[in-house]
């Protein structure tokens, strides 16, 4: 299968799965697949799908059997660390990893708290607000902007670019595919040009932000060096509604998963959100339980591609949830609008009464 056909087949397979599930509540479909077809092959699109915890963990974590490299990715954004294999992945990650350690994140904790408090302060005197648009969207965007050393006035542009990068075609048609690729390519060019300018500025005038730290590491060859219930609540939320529900890999050689033979070059979709609800791994998997221990979810991935931003995401979530629960004695849902996307899980809007 050539590169173009592989990409189109992937999009069709994702759309096929999307059409079978509810955007906000896909879990009944995951459950049926775990029971009836835990490893299945889409003959039309030549794509495997796996749904059980152990199988998903193997696909996303075994770098000897499965590759993250996608040959259709030709842009600087597409050829990011997410789509790299060792040894290049190891080289890049060794530099980037130290910029997101818990120790570095701890230094940013007071500033993240200030941002959360400032956003919540804007709700005073209101009886209703949008938890997504007014709080959970601006908080991480402002934080990552400051961490990177990017002026906060670019926040809206970041949001637009990020939405496009994680989007999918509106349907499985060739017209939708072409429109999607055109918009995505334009987005990648704009984002690459934007960061090229930022990087040049930081080379001339380095500061204490992550981009400056990474530039220094590149130039010198250096290796960069709550309450008990809240972290558990964050981990259970990650398990219960994984933000990245599906990851893709390519089989590096013939192998067996769940009694099925995959061939070298086969594309595999690993349904992380299903794995995190696997009844064989998690007792009462359908229940949200902040006392769950242990909680070996794989919402941040597994193996060499475990999410670099996990410490930051956990810190932001703990601060945000603590700030909200300490400020508001009650929040009653008014309306929920899910993101209609097969590769990212979340909400466009969540209006609440306070």
For residue range 49-102, what is the model confidence (pLDDT) as tens digits? 999 999 999 999 999 999 988 765 555 555 566 777 887 777 777 777 777 777
What is the count of structural domains for the chain?
Answer: 1
Q: What is the pTM of this model?
A: 0.82
Q: How confident is the model at residue 5 (pLDDT cuts 50, 70, 90)?
A: low
Query: In this predicted structure, what is the pLDDT of residue 58?
Result: 97
Range with the poorest average pLDDT among 141-145, 333-337, 347-351: 141-145
Residue 237 belongs to domain spanning: 3-353
SS3 148: helix
**Please, are residues 69 and 252 in contact by the beta-carbon 8 Å criterion?**
no
**Position 302 pLDDT exceeds 80:** yes
pLDDT higher at 317 or 12: 317
Going along 226-283, which residue ranges are E strands? 246-251, 255-257, 260-262, 267-271
Spatial neighbors of 248 by CB under 8 A, at least 6 apart, are 10, 70, 267, 268, 269, 270
Query: In this predicted structure, what is the pLDDT of residue 73?
Result: 53
CA end-to-end distance (rounded Å), the chain: 54
Q: Rounded distance, CA 15 to CA 326, Å?
A: 41
**Please, are residues 112 and 144 in contact by the beta-carbon 8 Å criterion?**
no
SS3 47: strand
What CATH number corresponds to the domain at position 144? 1.10.630.10
Query: In this predicted structure, what is the pLDDT of residue 219?
Result: 67
**Please, are residues 300 and 324 in contact by the beta-carbon 8 Å criterion?**
no
Q: Rounded distance, CA 243 to CA 5, Å?
A: 27
Q: How confident is the model at residue 15 (pLDDT cuts 50, 70, 90)?
A: low
**Please, are residues 140 and 318 in contact by the beta-carbon 8 Å criterion?**
no
> Other CB atoms closer than 10 Å to residue 351's CB: what's the count?
17
Q: How far is CA 323 from CA 35, 122, 293, 333, in A?
A: 40, 13, 24, 18
DSSP string, 269-319: EEEHHHHTT-TTTSTTTTS--TT-SS----TT--GGGS-TTHHHHHHHHHH
**Position 228 pLDDT exceeds 50:** no
């Amino acid at each position: 299968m050539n590169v173009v056909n592989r990409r189109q087949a992937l999009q069709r397979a994702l759309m096929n799965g999307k059409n079978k599930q509810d955007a906000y509540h896909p879990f009944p479909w995951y459950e049926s697949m775990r029971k009836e077809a835990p490893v299945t092959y889409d003959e039309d699109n030549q794509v495997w799908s796996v749904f059980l915890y152990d199988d998903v963990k193997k696909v996303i974590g075994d770098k000897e059997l499965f590759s993250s490299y996608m040959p259709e990715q030709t842009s600087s954004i597409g050829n990011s660390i997410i789509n790299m294999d060792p040894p290049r992945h190891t080289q890049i990650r060794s530099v980037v990893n130290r910029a997101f350690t818990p120790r570095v994140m701890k230094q940013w904790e007071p500033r993240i708290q200030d941002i959360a408090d400032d956003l919540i302060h804007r709700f005073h005197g209101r009886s209703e607000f949008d938890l997504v648009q007014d709080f959970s969207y601006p908080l991480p965007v402002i934080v990552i902007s400051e961490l990177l050393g990017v002026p906060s006035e670019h926040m809206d542009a970041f949001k637009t670019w990020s939405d496009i990068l994680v989007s999918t075609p509106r349907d499985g048609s060739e017209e939708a595919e072409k429109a999607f690729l055109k918009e995505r390519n334009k987005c990648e060019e704009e984002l690459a040009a934007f960061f090229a300018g930022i990087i040049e500025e930081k080379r001339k005038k380095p500061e204490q932000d992550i981009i400056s730290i990474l530039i220094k590491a590149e130039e010198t060859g250096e290796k960069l060096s709550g309450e008990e219930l809240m972290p558990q609540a964050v981990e259970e939320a990650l398990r219960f509604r994984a933000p990245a529900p599906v990851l893709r890999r390519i089989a590096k050689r013939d192998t067996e998963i769940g009694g099925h033979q995959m061939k070298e070059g086969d594309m595999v979709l690993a349904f992380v959100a299903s794995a995190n609800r696997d009844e064989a791994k998690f007792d009462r998997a359908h229940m949200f339980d902040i006392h769950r221990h242990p909680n070996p979810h794989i919402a941040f991935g597994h193996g060499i591609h475990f999410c670099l931003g996990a410490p930051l995401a956990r810190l932001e979530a703990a601060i945000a949830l603590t700030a909200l629960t300490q400020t508001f004695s009650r929040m009653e849902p008014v309306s929920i609008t899910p993101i209609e996307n097969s590769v990212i899980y979340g909400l466009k809007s969540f209006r609440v009464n306070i």
